[in-house]
Amino acid sequence: MTDTAALDLASLLCSRLCHDMLSPVGALSNGLELLRDERDPEMRKRCMELLEQSAKSSADKLKFFRLAFGAAGGFGQMVAVHEARELITALIGDSGRVTLDWTVSSEELPKAAVKTLLNLAAIGIEALVRGGTLEVGAELTGVTGEGGASEIVIRAAGPRIAFDQTIGHALDGSLPIGELSSRTAPAAMIHQLAASVGGGVQWALSDDALVMGAILPQA
Residue 40 reports pLDDT greater than 80 = yes
Ramachandran category for residue 136: left, alpha or beta (phi over 0 → left; psi -120 to 50 → alpha): beta
Q: What SS3 state is found at 102?
A: strand
Q: pLDDT tens across 124-144, in order?
A: 999 999 999 999 999 998 765
Start-to-end Cα distance in the chain: 20
Q: Are the C-beta atoms of 152 and 138 separated by less than 8 Å?
A: yes
Residue 219 reports pLDDT greater than 80 = no
DSSP-assigned beta bridge partners for residue 201: 214
What would the mean pLDDT of 28-50 be, rounded to a whole number? 85
5 or 166, which is more confident:
166
Q: Look up the domain containing 92 and give its range.
A: 3-217
| Cα-based torsion angle of the residue sequence 71, 76, 79, 83 in order, rounded to the nearest 10 degrees | -70
Give the length of the chain.
219
Looking at residue 169, which CATH number applies to its domain? Answer: 3.30.565.10
Q: Are the C-beta atoms of 138 and 81 separated by less than 8 Å?
A: yes
Q: What is the DSSP string of 134-195?
A: EEEEEEEES-TTTT-EEEEEEEEESS-----HHHHHHHHT-S-GGG--TTTHHHHHHHHHHH
- Cα–Cα distance, 51 to 34 (Å, whole number): 10
Number of domains present in the structure of the chain = 1
**Cα dihedral sign, 68-73-74-77:** positive
Q: Are the C-beta atoms of 6 and 169 separated by less than 8 Å?
A: no
Q: Which of 68-82, 83-97, 185-199 has the lowest mean pLDDT?
A: 68-82
Residue 145 reports pLDDT greater than 70 = no
Q: pLDDT tens across 183-202, in order?
A: 999 999 999 999 999 999 99
Ramachandran category for residue 100: left, alpha or beta (phi over 0 → left; psi -120 to 50 → alpha): beta
41-68 and 3-37 helices cross at what angle (nearest 10)? 170
